[in-house]
């Protein structure tokens, strides 16, 4: 399954690892912040509606 990478295996694998980690971190942070802000906004709106 694994392709033969020869003597450059380290370089190829590490650049894939670095990029994928960075992309996943970016996506995870964006999604988490989106969820948090959405929940907080809902709460604030609910509270304001209740208080008139």
Partner 1 sequence: MASIWQYANPKKFIQTTDRVLPWISGMAVVCLAVGLIWGFFFTPEDFRQGSTVKIIYLHVPSALMAINAWLMMLVASLIWIVRRHHVSALAARAAAPIGAVMTVIALATGAIWGQPMWGTWWAWDPRLTSFLILFLFYLGYMALWAAIENDDTAADLTSVLCLVGSVFALLSRYAVNFWNQGLHQGASLSLDKEKNVADVFYHPLLVSIAGFVLLFIALVFLRTQTEIRARRMRALLARERLQ
Return residues touching partner 1 (CB under 8 A). Answer: 1, 3-9, 11-12, 14-16, 18-19, 22-23, 26-27, 30-31, 33-34, 37-38, 40-41, 44-45, 48
- Shortest distance (Å) from residue 45 CB to partner 1: 7
Q: Give the separation between CA 52 and CA 45, rounded to whole angstroms.
A: 10
Q: Give the separation between CA 22 and CA 3, rounded to whole angstroms.
A: 24
- Shortest distance (Å) from residue 2 CB to partner 1: 8
HEC states along 23-38?
Answer: HHHHHHHHHHHHHHHH
- Shortest distance (Å) from residue 19 CB to partner 1: 4
């Amino acid at each position: 399954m694994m392709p033969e990478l020869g003597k450059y295996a380290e370089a190829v694998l590490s650049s894939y690892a670095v990029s994928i980690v960075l992309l996943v971190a970016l996506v995870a942070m964006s999604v988490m912040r989106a969820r948090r802000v959405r929940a907080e906004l809902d709460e604030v709106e609910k509270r304001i509606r209740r208080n008139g």
